[in-house]
A = this chain, B = another copy of it.
Amino acid sequence: MNVVVLVSGGLDSTVTGAIAKKEGHSLFLLTVQYGQRHDVEVDCAQKVAAWLHPVDHQFIHLDLGGLGGSALTTNWAVPKNRSVADRQTEIPTTYVPARNTIFLSLALAYAETLSASSIYIGANIRDYSGYPDCRPEFLNVFRELAKLGTKRGVEGHTIDICAPLLSMTKAEIIQKGLSLGVPFHLTHSCYDPNEAGKSCGTCDSCLIRLEGFRDAGIEDPIPYQQ
């Protein structure tokens, strides 16, 4: 079956792509460059894509910076060294308004064009920082939207939203990726890399990644600034 995979160059979306591949699907990758400060992700998406051997890989550029509202698309400071408790209770300033809604909408357009059966997304609720658009209830409503808002849906076809990592811990995601041979050294997670693209090691995304590797008992193969 043709499936669309949202691939950012990050660890979660790479493991998600590997799972879709393992399930025997033909992969059509979609990478959205949305004006994020960690644009180095997009280079990683290209390298990771080569490993996934997709049928096609589309890039969409759109600049959300003008809309503001996030530390990832503006010059707001990225929070550093937040405690686990803070990370689990507060929606941080790195939240990008409606990001997954936008990503899934673009993937939906691509999926409809390809007559694809599913969209794969690396959404995850366990380790993440309370982003509302990573929750199962959000994904359920988007499934409904995919049915009602497309020609294919009206014609009786389903475009499913698959989030295979949804309730896994970061350590479980890493273990899963390891079993599928995911090239973790090609992935990028940091929200605030330096000019050379090196990860900071202290933003939420780096902390969650490092804790995940530690809990999985594996060394993270990417370099950090400190």
On whether the beta carbons of A109 and B69 are closer than 8 Å, the reply is yes
A97–B149 CA distance with the chains assembled, in angstroms: 9
Report the stretch among A41-49, A56-64, A191-199, A209-217 that lies at the interface: A56-64
A101–B104 CA distance with the chains assembled, in angstroms: 9
On whether the beta carbons of A151 and B60 are closer than 8 Å, the reply is no
Q: A interface, how many residues as a size bin?
A: 35 or more
A99 interfacial contact with B, CB 8 Å: yes
Q: In the complex, which residues 70-127 of chain A have their Cβ closer than 8 Å to any Cβ of chain B?
A: 91, 95-102, 104-106, 108-110, 112-113
Contacts of A153 in B (CB 8 A): 132
A178 interfacial contact with B, CB 8 Å: no
Contacts of A154 in B (CB 8 A): 91, 132
On whether the beta carbons of A98 and B91 are closer than 8 Å, the reply is no
Contacts of A180 in B (CB 8 A): none
User: Which 9 A-B pairs have CB atoms at the shortest separation, nearest pair first?
Assistant: A69-B113, A97-B112, A62-B62, A98-B109, A97-B109, A98-B108, A133-B149, A101-B105, A102-B105
Which A residues lie at the B interface, using CB under 8 A? 58-64, 66-69, 91, 95-102, 104-106, 108-110, 112-113, 132-133, 135, 137-138, 141-142, 144-145, 148-151, 153-154
20 A-B interface contacts by CB (under 8 A): A58-B66, A58-B67, A59-B66, A60-B64, A62-B106, A64-B109, A91-B154, A97-B112, A97-B150, A97-B151, A98-B105, A98-B106, A98-B149, A102-B102, A105-B105, A132-B154, A133-B148, A138-B148, A141-B144, A144-B144
Q: Supply 14 further A-B pairs (C-beta < 8 A) apart from A60-B66, A145-B145.
A: A61-B61, A62-B62, A91-B151, A97-B113, A98-B108, A98-B150, A100-B149, A102-B105, A132-B148, A132-B153, A133-B148, A133-B149, A141-B144, A141-B145
